[in-house]
Amino acid sequence: MSDRVRFTGGRAGRSNLAWGQRSIYEAIRRTDHDSAHYFNLWRLMAMPRGRGPYSVEDVTSAVVALVARHDSLRSRITPGDGTPVQTVSETGWLERRVQPSTEEEAEKAAEGLVLDLAARAFDLEHEWPVRIGMITVGDAVRRVGVVLCHTAADGYAADIVVRDLRQLLLRGSMTRPPSQQLLDLVAEQESGIGRNRSERALAHWESGYREIPPVMFPDLVAEPGSPRWSKAILESRALEHAVSIVAARHHMSTATVLLTAVSAMVGTITAHDTCAITPIVHNRFRPETRDLVTSLSQLGLFTLAPDPDATLHEILENTQPEAMRAYRHAQYDQLAWEDMVERVSAERGVAVEPSCCFNDMRPVDHSNLPDSPPGEDAIRTSVTSSRIEWLPGVDHFTCDFCFFVTRQSGILTIGLNADTCRLPQSRIVGLLRSVEELVVESAFRDVRPGELGVAP
């Protein structure tokens, strides 16, 4: 059964889009409508154990309270006159789908339902950015799925949304308001403090953009694969343990180790003096962003000068300051950024767009070191059980090289979605394997990225 739920509560307001929202909005606008659902996020909520049962009405009340709690979830975007504007509503409607199931089938049914709800792009102008799915067994709700539009939430915000929904279901209300609201974030970004922050970030970008290769993979070396953009993942327990060992040795995050390792391997298969890679930065550093629901992530710029004689450990020793600058300077006015890119491109006489990104999609707090990582033999042996899997790709995409880090079945997983005309499938696999090998070897000995071959 599909119907609409009326929500009411919370304030109303109008504003420009926040910087991160604008970058997603532009990305969606450039994507054809059939692929725009790519920008949806979804989560299945863990039902509170040993409580309930909860009826459809109970869950619906919690959803209404959730939407009242966050500006972002009540916001719609109108294109305006070239400048999109968002309107936060006091009241509105959400899509709700309730689907009966059996106890045995509930889990599978929930996954199917949430994927189905996520398979359609949001109508940004007319639809609020939340859809809810519920799987019922008898009168009780067994599973709840939430689908969000990426203009309203990034991955971190999606986790806040399901956490709050669960709290509201358990307790009926939340006494503490969110640390910050979308409309207040926009006001902060448009204030002097925000403008200064943006200008400093853009200064970092501009000095980088004057030096970096205009594009990291300029050469079309192969016929397009099928699909042209192919996406492979490598699930690796060995990498999980090894990256923790290397990160601990250098007092840095596992994300920075992986960002550096990927950049170093890219350095071995390209002929550039500088490798440029743009990590997607969560921007959740300030305490007030703790439970802010919006799309706050933006691209940062990380550069690395490949040194064939340096070991990964030596590279890591030098890389931390640059990584910190990349993370720090990832909050900026998206339009001013586009102006900067256009200006620098015009001056250099070439479009500067490295088209090489890095996205760590794991939850923000992932610094926990395993209590006692297994020994060298066990880690090396487990390399043999890490495996490549191909995921569905697409024939049109906007980035040549998207490296990502995630967790699958509880195991660290690295993946690469790349243009097969520039990186054939064998090279995609070779690159994933070489990053694994570089990090695993570096956990136990000194190794130079150039020592490792990457399949052509």
List contacts with another protein (CB under 8 A): 200, 250-253, 256, 284-287, 320-325, 327-328, 364, 367
The C-alpha angle 221, 227, 230, rounded to 5 degrees, equals 70
Structure tokens at 412: 């660290």
Residue closest to 87 by CA, chosen among 103, 102, 75: 75
Structure tokens at 209: 């953009």
Q: Minimum Å distance from CB 156 to another protein?
A: 12
Residue number with CB closer to another protein (64 or 248): 248
> One-letter amino acid identity for 245?
I
Judged by DSSP in three states, 311 sits in: coil
Residue 278, phi then psi, degrees to nearest 5: -110, 100
How is residue 47 annotated by DSSP? P
Radius of gyration from C-alpha coordinates of the chain: 23
Residue number with CB closer to another protein (236 or 256): 256
Residue number with CB closer to another protein (317 or 342): 317
Helix (H) or strand (E) holding 108: helix 106-118
Residue number with CB closer to another protein (313 or 325): 325
Q: Give residues with Cβ within 8 angstroms of 208, minimum separation 6.
A: 276, 301, 303
> For the residues of 26-39, what is the DSSP string, one character each?
HHHHHS-GGGGGGG
Structure tokens at 214: 């205009």
Residue number with CB closer to another protein (367 or 398): 367
Place of tokens 């004057």: 210
Residue number with CB closer to another protein (18 or 114): 18
What's the length of the chain?
A: 456
Q: Give residues with Cβ within 8 angstroms of 271, minimum separation 6.
A: none
Residue number with CB closer to another protein (215 or 252): 252
How is residue 353 annotated by DSSP? -
How is residue 416 annotated by DSSP? E
Residue number with CB closer to another protein (291 or 322): 322
Q: Minimum Å distance from CB 243 to another protein?
A: 15
Contact 234, 432 (CB under 8 A): yes
Contact 277, 431 (CB under 8 A): no
Q: Minimum Å distance from CB 317 to another protein?
A: 11
Residue number with CB closer to another protein (126 or 251): 251
Structure tokens at 39: 């920008």
Judged by DSSP in three states, 398 sits in: coil
Residue number with CB closer to another protein (138 or 287): 287
| Cα–Cα distance measured from residue 277 to residue 265, given in angstroms and rounded to the nearest whole number | 12
Q: What sign has the CA pseudo-torsion 402, 406, 408, 412?
A: positive
Q: Minimum Å distance from CB 372 to another protein?
A: 18
Residue number with CB closer to another protein (213 or 279): 279
Q: Minimum Å distance from CB 453 to another protein?
A: 31
The C-alpha angle 113, 119, 125, rounded to 5 degrees, equals 115
Q: Give residues with Cβ within 8 angstroms of 194, minimum separation 6.
A: 188
Q: Minimum Å distance from CB 284 to another protein?
A: 8
Query: Biggest alpha carbon distance in the chain?
Result: 67
